[in-house]
Amino acid sequence: MKTKITIPQLYKLKNSDKEKLVLTYLSAFESYPKLMQAFSDKKTRLLALEATLRYYTAFDLRYGSGFSLDENVREAVLIIHSDRMKYTFLKHLAAGSYGKEYRAVISKLSKEEKQTRAALFEELDRLEATVDIPRPHIYADFLGVASEYQHQGRGRKLMSQVCRYADQIGLPIMLFTNTADDIKFYQSLGFRIIGETSSERFGFVNTYMLYESSVREDRSL
């Protein structure tokens, strides 16, 4: 399977764009549903969010690619082929997931808060394993638009190009989301619901969605 991701109509993020990316995501995901119940204190929640963003975006940028409409990175999505998605300590280490910026943020959380954050994502992984997700696929991670630029069609324009890329290479796109509005947004782009998980402990519901390419995958790509 082709793992190098190129979408000429979009701006491909560089390593030098990481801080702009994190700032955009912090603005976009300030009310991230999975963290709302786990961390009732806003300051703690934002620290947990930043640690999470720095950890996972480093991995996605190393093993996949990030895209925005332009170099201002006021909106972004990270995409990675499923054959590169196995998370291991060594792969995260190589990606820089434990870099100084991440360590500076995570050090501000108490031992109990770190344990809560770890338990939340262990719960997420455990629940996701119960969903029948087709492979191979493209995983779309963290589609987000900075709050002051939302409701301008930026997310739709960005994700439409990702869907076009999926059509070109003949692979489905998988993602999950947490709100009714987001479900409607993705359905309007051609995604359908393939599963749902819920956490009683952390109070979140994940809806898994799939965009099925109209072109069959060409294994020679």
Average pLDDT of adjacent 10-residue blocks, the chain of 221 residues: 77 96 95 79 92 94 96 97 89 93 96 93 91 94 96 97 95 94 96 95 92 60 36
Amino acid identity, residue 92? H
Q: Which domains does the chain have, with CATH numbers?
A: 11-211 (3.40.630.30)
Which conformational region is residue 170 in: left (phi greater than 0), alpha (psi within -120 to 50 degrees), or beta?
Answer: left
| pTM (predicted TM-score) | 0.90
Which conformational region is residue 73 in: left (phi greater than 0), alpha (psi within -120 to 50 degrees), or beta?
Answer: left
Whether the bond into 8 is cis, omega within 30 of 0: no
CB 56 within 8 A of CB 111: no
Q: Where are the beta strands (DSSP E) in 28-137?
A: 65-68, 75-81
**Token code pair at residue 119:** 């338990």
pLDDT reported for residue 34: 74
CB 163 within 8 A of CB 185: no
pLDDT reported for residue 36: 77
124 closest CA partner among 182, 28, 56, 206: 206
- Paired strand residues for 145: 75
Q: How far is CA 19 from the centre of its chain?
A: 16
CB 143 within 8 A of CB 185: no
Q: How many angstroms separate the CA atoms of 199 and 131, rounded?
A: 14
pLDDT reported for residue 219: 38
Q: How many angstroms separate the CA atoms of 12 and 185, rounded?
A: 23
